[in-house]
Chain A
Amino acid sequence: MSEPILKATGVTIGFPVTRGIIFQREVARVQAVDGVDLELHAGETLAIVGESGCGKTTLARGLVRLQGIDAGSIEFMGEDITRRTGRGLTDFRRQVTMIFQDPIASLDPRMRIGQSVQEPLDIHSIGTPGERKRKVQEAMERVGLNPEHYNRFPHEFSGGQRQRIGIARAVVLEPRVIVCDEPVSALDVSVQAQIVNLLEDLQRDLGLSYVVIAHDLDVVRRLADRVKVMYLGRVVEEGEGEQVYNGPRHPYSNALLSARPIADPKRARTQERIVLQGDVPSPLNPPSGCRFHPRCPVAQSSCAEVDPPLEHAADGHGWACRFPLRP
């Protein structure tokens, strides 16, 4: 396989817990992301799924250098960009961009949407003012917005249209990689499908690579070539989309998949739903051994002692469990 376009190795991100008002001192560190490896190849879509608080958004922010990382490295097209600053970081920002979850919050309420979409071109000084305007209108057209709405404000648009504005802003630079943080979870179900289609069309037309962060497994199934399942800051299972969806090996992935709503009530009645006991443990004080063992339906006593590494089968499907489910 070719060289990955974006590669993360052993990424660890923690947040300090401080005490004191004037003289703050660090009393503990929350490990939001703990040693995650990731490879994204050109033109593919990698999905990261998991429940709230598992560190998927933090990982996404770390990948695009919005969040400092404590350990590990991030490479973009073979170059280490972990410690880049200034000009180098700006160049990276031109090629790797992001779509945010809440389309209204991610647009400046006082900027006309044309200005918002044009801003990346201004920042990277691309083209003359006339060319910029043309590029903006092209991008707006590409994402299904009326270019004549250039002079409107974000509050004049519907949720789906706002997300299209966010996407236009991301693609106007013609980037290589777009990190989508929950791109559709703030939208109505009817609009979600349109946005998913749009993302697919853009990928085909512009040769984009996506990292999609999501908790909606059906959206992920549509979009993703490969899937990583995260639990408490770690990857517990990874593989091709169908490998994970049809034959989850980790009990957590299995529980997550069984929690999906099913549209057919007849099938829903017969479907076995695995309800996990308790809440996600605090990442401040993760459980010993396998981090999933206190909630795991198949855990054995030794799971509290041994931390299982992520092991891969010959077909690339990997899981971090000592007692994996049978495929």
Chain B
Amino acid sequence: MSTVEQFEDMKTEGMVVARTPRQLAFARLRRDYVALASLIFIVLLVLFALAGPLFEAWTGHPVNRSNSTGVDDYTLLPVGPMHGCVNGLASVGERSCFVLGASNNLGFDMLVQLSFGARTSLIIGIVATVLTMLAALLLGVIAGYVGGWTDTVIARLMDIVAAFPFLLFAIAASVAFGASLWFVILIIAFFSWFYPGRIFRGEVMSLRNREFVTAARMLGASNSRIIFRHLMPQLIGPLTVYASLSVAGAIAAEAALSYLGFGLPLEIPSWGRMISDAVPGGLYINAPFLMVFPGTLLVLTVLAFNLLGDGLRDALDPRGGTIL
């Protein structure tokens, strides 16, 4: 061994410990305060959504029952001390308590509705994203790896889906098939897979001809081994980034559909519908918080997932600088 390599060995053994790409990414993410704040917001949002039943028990307002006592009829805000916690309303011993007022003129509790709405948004965002990413991985990797006619067919399919007007198609389909939770999830996934799909296709196309893939083939690796052992791990970066962005997109899409009245059925709380409920009769003029509360939560949630996605993109960028 030459002195140069001995020196190299010394360097790697004693003083300098090299970090894995993952460790570097985490180090960069820890420095990114915007992404970190987004992550904290998302964690708080998840806790808020999980706390739904606790809010129901505390306020005495089940999510789908109206009860406007304790609310000012004009502003829909809580009245009285303790934000209008009143004892013995419907039956003896029952307690009713509004904290953020009523969510509409039927007297649904704003806090409970917001919490269950967060649950709906997160479920739709995550399930739709999982479906989106599975479809994008499957079709993108096949198209990029196989190439030729298969690629042409899948790539054109992506173009066709991309060319569909989402809202128009979703409204028509909602009228035709009737809206349900699964319908909303499937329609959102159907209109989002093509974008990450294109990214994965491009990545795989460029990776396929890299020398380490050739080397694996040379050693006798099967196609499935090359795909799962050598190609898929390289996609973890873009997958994480686009998953985060896709959650934001799905939440916004669900809110838009529900706002238009073509989204979720009435028994499922939704931020989008809470906003639209404030519109008839100019309710929001007397009670602007009917829009402000769900609207702010929606904007912050979408923003948080988008910013987290951007932060992840920067953190996972292999050209990103090193952090000591």
Contact = CB atoms under 8 A, between A and B. Distances in A.
B12 interface: yes
Contact of A153 (B20, B212, B218, B219): B20
A105 interface: yes
Given A153-B20, A190-B4, A93 B220 contact: yes
Contacts of A120: 219-220
Contact of A119 (B8, B12, B214, B221): B221
A100 B211 contact: yes
B12 to A, nearest CB: 6
Contact of A190 (B2, B8, B212, B216): B2
B220 A94 contact: yes
A123 B218 CA distance: 11
B225 A108 contact: no
A102 B214 CA distance: 12
A136 B8 CA distance: 22
Nearest to B231: A108
Contacts of B20: 153
Contacts of B219: 93, 97, 119-120, 123, 169, 173
A138 to B, nearest CB: 18
Contacts of B92: none
18 contacts: A66-B214, A93-B219, A97-B218, A98-B215, A105-B210, A105-B211, A107-B212, A107-B215, A108-B230, A110-B21, A110-B233, A123-B220, A144-B1, A152-B18, A156-B18, A157-B8, A157-B12, A158-B4
**What class of interface size applies to chain B in its complex with A?**
20 to 34
Task: Pick the 10 closest A-B CB pairs, nearest first.
Answer: A93-B220, A105-B211, A156-B18, A106-B211, A106-B215, A120-B219, A108-B212, A90-B220, A110-B233, A123-B220
Contact of B5 (A66, A89, A158): A158
B211 to A, nearest CB: 4
Nearest to B232: A110
B contacts with A: majority SS? helix
Interface in B182-225: 210-212, 214-222, 225
B215 A100 contact: yes
B211 A194 contact: no
Contacts of A123: 219-222, 225
A84 to B, nearest CB: 12
A124 B220 contact: yes
Contacts of A161: 5, 8
A321 interface: no
Interface of A: 22, 64, 66, 89-90, 93-94, 97-98, 100, 102, 105-111, 119-120, 123-124, 144, 146, 149, 152-153, 155-158, 160-161, 166, 169, 173, 190-191, 194
A81 B114 CA distance: 68
Contact of B218 (A66, A149, A191): A66
Contact of B234 (A90, A110, A153): A110
Interface in B11-28: 12, 18, 20-21
Nearest to A64: B218
A194 B6 CA distance: 13
Contacts of B1: 144
Contacts of A158: 4-5, 8
Contacts of B218: 64, 66, 93, 97-98
Contacts of B211: 100, 102, 105-106
B267 interface: no
B212 A106 contact: yes
Contacts of A169: 215, 219
B296 interface: no
Contacts of B4: 158, 190-191
A119 B230 CA distance: 11
Nearest to A193: B2
A107 B233 CA distance: 14
Nearest to A90: B220
Contacts of A160: 5
B286 interface: no
Contacts of B214: 66, 100, 106
A194 B2 CA distance: 8
Given A152-B12, A158-B8, A161-B5, A66 B234 contact: no
A284 B279 CA distance: 71
Given A97-B218, A100-B211, A194-B2, 13 more contacts: A64-B218, A66-B214, A93-B219, A93-B220, A98-B218, A108-B216, A108-B233, A109-B212, A111-B230, A119-B216, A123-B219, A153-B18, A169-B215
A295 B9 CA distance: 49
A222 B30 CA distance: 53
B152 interface: yes
B293 to A, nearest CB: 45
A149 B12 CA distance: 10
Nearest to B212: A108
A156 B8 CA distance: 10
Contacts of B210: 105
A208 to B, nearest CB: 16
A105 B212 contact: yes
Interface in B145-197: 152
Nearest to A172: B219
A268 B1 CA distance: 32
A92 B287 CA distance: 78
A107 B234 CA distance: 13
